[in-house]
Amino acid sequence: MTSGEVCGPKGKDWSGTPTGKETKFAGLDAYITGRTEKPSAAILLIQDIWGWKLKNTRLLGDKLGSEGYLVVLPDFFHGDEIGQFKERSEFFKKHPLEATYPEADAVLEQINKEYGNIPVGVEGFCWGGHFAIRLAGRTESLTIGAAVIPHGSFIEPDVVEAAKQPVKFLFSKNEDPQIPKEKREKLEKILDGKPNSGYKFYPDMDHGWSLRGDPSNERVAAGASDAYEQALAFFKKNVPIS
């Protein structure tokens, strides 16, 4: 799978104004929202190609935060922003996947340091899904409570097989170049063997629908709303708020 196939056009902005704040967290710029005073659970949001400043990602974080979670959305691209989708191949050459591994670890460490050993869920969109499923393979230090991966990218079956924590995939239609039909069915078979994990297939949703879909399209808006509810229910079960 090539980086040239990852993610998709920026899509449409949702209505609303983000209510969180920008700050430094684990040495990175980050958008923090939700319950910041003595939270009992947290969610790490990991961006897609359009970065931490994408309005929709922040609004989704605010929505999760309104449920009582501390939500942390770091800038894993270090201030770099892609200008146009056609520039994606060169953009990802500047941001290799392995460079983000220790930074994601540092964010989890900072959550533990600042807020205690509270349960943490991870939701990774597209590019961010690669890190969400990887973190679900932890069994000792810096373990997470659950991972949700809507329209993930750079996902390989062996990493899904290695997941030890509950994971939920939200798959887009068969034509998704990142997880086409054959790969999706292979991942579904793996997930069927994990009693605390699951998936949902959206056969009429394009890649990126849950975060960048057109809110004026009733069908797409309903699909995005359902994806949010699927993620929230999974987090409430596996990363409970006390």
pLDDT in tens, 49-78: 888 998 999 999 999 999 999 999 999 988
Residue 225 has pLDDT above 80, yes or no: yes
Q: What is the pLDDT of residue 80?
A: 81
pLDDT band (50, 70, 90) for residue 2? very low
Q: What is the pLDDT of residue 186?
A: 97
Percent of the chain at pLDDT > 70 equals 93
- How does strand 42-46 pair with strand 70-74? parallel
What range does the domain containing 36 cover? 3-238
pLDDT band (50, 70, 90) for residue 131? very high
Q: What is the pLDDT of residue 87?
A: 67
Q: What is the pLDDT of residue 4?
A: 37
The residue-averaged pLDDT of 126-149 equals 91
109 CB-near residues (< 8 Å, 6+ apart):
26, 142
Task: For residues 13 and 36, give the distance between their C-alpha atoms in angstroms, rounded to a whole number.
Answer: 26
pLDDT band (50, 70, 90) for residue 90? confident
CATH, residue 47? 3.40.50.1820
Residue 3 has pLDDT above 50, yes or no: no
The residue-averaged pLDDT of 89-109 equals 89
Q: What is the total count of domains within the chain?
A: 1
104 CB-near residues (< 8 Å, 6+ apart):
44, 46, 76, 131, 135
Q: What is the pLDDT of residue 93?
A: 84
Task: For residues 180 and 199, give the distance between their C-alpha atoms in angstroms, rounded to a whole number.
Answer: 15
What letter does residue 14 receive in the DSSP assignment?
Answer: P
User: 165, 136 in Cβ contact below 8 A?
Assistant: yes
Ranking 60-74, 77-91, 98-112, 115-129 by mean pLDDT, the lowest is 77-91
